[in-house]
Amino acid sequence: MIKPLEAEDKTAGGILLPDTAKEKSTRARCWRSQRPAPAHGRIVKVAVEVGDIVLYSKYGGSDVKVDGKELKIIQEGEILAIVG
């Protein structure tokens, strides 16, 4: 599960963006990480840890709401990069 981060308020050049010009963020913080069930008698380690900042596909995952928080459920293969 990941929690999408807010879209940037300004560009890299310092130009402030109005709400209508902001794009949907593709950065998120890992909120919960779960190991998959053992496959063929071995456990595969998950590369993402809770708190990591990740980049994910713009249309990846499924949107869910848990305790009033907007979250996404994604598979580890949908994570493009770990950036922090």
CATH number at residue 37: 2.30.33.40
3-class DSSP state of 7? coil
For position 48, what pLDDT does the model report? 85
Is residue 6, in this structure, part of any structural domain at all? no
For position 61, what pLDDT does the model report? 86
Is residue 30, in this structure, part of any structural domain at all? yes
Is residue 20, in this structure, part of any structural domain at all? no
3-class DSSP state of 68? coil
Residues of the chain with pLDDT under 50: none
Q: Could you tell me the residue range of the domain that residue 44 belongs to?
A: 26-84
0.75 cut: is pTM over it?
no
Domains in the chain: how many in total? 1
DSSP-assigned states of every residue in 14-51: --B--GGGPPPP-EEEE----PPPPBTTBPPPPS--TT
Is residue 43, in this structure, part of any structural domain at all? yes
For position 43, what pLDDT does the model report? 66
For position 19, what pLDDT does the model report? 65
Question: What is the C-alpha to C-alpha distance for residues 83 and 20, in angstroms, rounded to an integer?
Answer: 27
Is residue 63, in this structure, part of any structural domain at all? yes
